[in-house]
Amino acid sequence: VGGAPIQAWAVVKADGYGHGLLRVAEGLREIADGFALLEIEAAVALRDAGFRQPILLLEGAFDAEELPVCAEYGLTIAIHRLEQLRMIHEAALPIRLPVYLKLNTGMNRLGFSLEDIPALRQVLAATNSVSSVTLMTHFAESDGARGVEWQLERFQRMTEGWSLPVSMA
């Protein structure tokens, strides 16, 4: 979007979709710009195995005790509700964390709605705990009759006025 570089991140959740996390990650080491998964333990295992690419926790931190681990291991966290952002804001971390803000454009499982955007912007502006922000969404029906155009339109409405990196799919 807007001439931004395209990156290929490998989603290796669920133990590499049952093939073994480290086995799959090793096979993708040279071509993956980053890795994405759910469990903090799996992210730590990747770091301990020597993976230096960015690692994104797709559902973010589940509680405040995970945030120091995210800082120690240089993890990126998704934020899909205001409580998570407030948790980061209140944490005394040794470094700022990169975050991905998950916007709900139609999948309706996780993410901020259009109505959440003003509060999201307010809390984000007040925190010093975030180093960078990427806006993200997940396509609900990419191969359905509607395609992704309707979600792209919603995403553009939600991100109006922000000039930030974007992650889709």
76-117 tens-digit pLDDT:
999 999 999 999 999 989 999 999 999 998 877 789 998 998
Q: What is the pLDDT of residue 108?
A: 75
Q: What is the pLDDT of residue 4?
A: 64
User: Which amino acid type is present at position 36?
Assistant: A
Give, for 9, the enclosing helix (H) or strand (E).
strand 9-11
DSSP string of 76-138?
A: EEEE-SHHHHHHHHH---SSPEEEEEEB-SS--SSSB-GGGHHHHHHHHHH-SSEEEEEEEE-
Q: What is the pLDDT of residue 91?
A: 92
Q: What is the pLDDT of residue 96?
A: 94
Cα–Cα distance for residue pair 55/3, rounded to 1 Å: 23
More confident call, 2 vs 15: 15
Q: What is the pLDDT of residue 1?
A: 46
Q: What is the pLDDT of residue 46?
A: 98
Q: What is the pLDDT of residue 97?
A: 95
Q: Could you tell me what percent of the chain has a pLDDT over 90?
A: 64
SS3 36: strand
107-159 tens-digit pLDDT:
777 899 989 988 888 888 899 999 999 999 988 776 777 778 888 999 999 99
Q: What is the mean pLDDT of the chain?
A: 90
Task: Assess contact for 66 and 42: CB atoms under 8 A.
Answer: no
Distances (CA, A) of 104 to 19, 73, 116: 30, 28, 10
